[in-house]
Amino acid sequence: MKLIAVAGARPNFIKIASLASELGSHSKSVHWKLVHTGQHYDEKMSDLFFRQLEIPEPDINLEVGSASHAVQTAEIMKRFENVVLEHKPDVVLVVGDVNSTIACGLVAVKLGVKLAHVEAGLRSFDRSMPEEVNRVLTDSISDLLFCTEQSGVDNLLREGIPQEKIFLVGNVMIDTLLKNKVKADDSNILNQFNLNGNDFAVITLHRPSNVDDVIVFKRILDSLEIIQNDMPVIFPVHPRTRRNLYSMSLGNMIDAMTGLRLLDPLGYLDFLRLMSSAKIVLTDSGGIQEETTILEIPCLTLRENTERPITVEVGSNRVVGTKTEKIIEAYTQVRDEGLRESQIPPLWDGRAAERIVRILLDKV
């Protein structure tokens, strides 16, 4: 089997790591190449993740860089088409829901190459999210759809995808976490910031709906102002978020919060150590909702919806929206009562990549 695996952005790297390891163990039956589209290309967002997660050097880097959704998607398609024509794979494997996912998926299908989508079927039912559009379109053209949770299977069946194309396999992001948890425990990040015990919170924000809208962003910061008076809040800041903090004249408000610590983006191991040691995590990230579930750390999702409902069903995650009073209400309850008894979702056992590669070898 000749396979091309595609990674484009930081969440993709975490997902591709376990797949790369498993594909590498089948070298006699799988000839595969890794394509990095360059959608995230700086040292913190890309190179560091490859090193820490022991992902092999990409065979091909498209070096697309940042641009608008249309320009970035089109540029990836133009450059990836030549890769497919040259290497003639039997299957292209894409992960997640970024622009690289749909761009490379479209190229593969238009050239008559089978398409496999890892993390298929997740739905927020919010078409204002660019990721939701990418998810729906990629699933509609895929030949093999690998789901992390039962809701993904149900969504795909409801959308008319034939059952024989759909496979519930578990979560490759959790594969990577379980493999690297002990290594992350050696991180010095807690000592570096004098974080003793677990009486601190972690927050991440990057979605345009939260950080591009000054009213919404201000509501979230108002809640942080209250929380940081109660316990330290550690805030690894996405470049987009940092730009908006100061372009929206919110810098003075941030600077006045003595309990809020702004950090540059962290590598995978440092962030895993930070997150696994926190009392509570606040985020608008999809992947962090899953990681906190396996770590059994309470998560407050600062959105109106989630495409990962299993994290709510098992009890680790609450979708609280972006209104200050709702965030503080949920924070106070979790701080005082802790995490209600939670469970680990089915098949989140560190063997998802193994199942995916076995199915690929059987079906392609």
pTM equals 0.95
Write the pLDDT tens digit of every residue in 219-278: 999 999 999 999 999 999 988 899 899 889 898 899 999 999 999 989 999 999 999 999
69 is annotated as an active-site residue: no
Q: Give me the pLDDT at residue 299, please.
A: 97
Strand ranges, E, within the chain: 2-7, 31-36, 60-61, 91-95, 114-118, 144-147, 166-168, 201-204, 233-236, 260-263, 280-283, 299-301, 317-319
From residue 36, give the alpha-carbon distance in Å to each of 25, 79, 334. Answer: 21, 11, 40
For residue 314, is pLDDT > 60?
yes
Quick one: what percent of the chain has pLDDT higher than 90? 87
pLDDT of residue 323: 98
pLDDT given for residue 13 in this prediction: 92
pLDDT for 238 equals 87
Instruction: Look at residue 160 and tell me whether its pLDDT is greater than 90.
Output: yes
Question: Is residue 362 predicted with pLDDT exceeding 70?
Answer: yes
40, pLDDT greater than 80: no
The answer, yes or no, to whether residue 44 has pLDDT greater than 60, is: no
Q: Is pLDDT above 70 for 42?
A: no
Catalytic residue among 26, 31, 87, 206: 206
Distance (Å, rounded) from C-alpha 48 to C-alpha 268? 8
pLDDT tens sequence across 163-178? 999 999 999 999 999 9
Instruction: Give pLDDT tens digits for 185-203.
Output: 999 999 999 997 779 999 9
Query: Would you call 180 helix, strand, or coil by DSSP?
Result: helix
Q: How far apart are CA 88 and CA 99, in angstroms?
A: 22
- Mean pLDDT over residues 8-13, rounded? 88
Residue 239 is predicted with a pLDDT of: 84
DSSP secondary-structure letter at 185?
T
The structure tokens listed for 284 are 């608008």
| Mean pLDDT score, 16-21 | 97
309: left (phi over 0), alpha (psi -120 to 50) or beta: alpha
Q: What is the pLDDT of residue 131?
A: 94
Q: In this predicted structure, what is the pLDDT of residue 45?
A: 60
Q: Please report, for residues 56, 272, 344, the alpha-carbon distance to residue 14 in angstroms, rounded to integers and kept in the order given.
A: 13, 12, 19
DSSP category for residue 163 = G
**230 CB contacts (<8 Å, ≥6 apart)?**
259, 335
pLDDT for 73 equals 95
Query: What domains can be seen in the chain, in order of their start residue?
Result: 2-171+348-363 (3.40.50.2000), 182-337 (3.40.50.2000)
Torsion of CA 163, 94, 2, 349, to 10 degrees: -70
pLDDT tens digits along 85-117: 999 999 999 999 999 999 999 999 999 999 999
Give the span between the Cα atoms of 240 and 97, in whole angstroms. Answer: 19
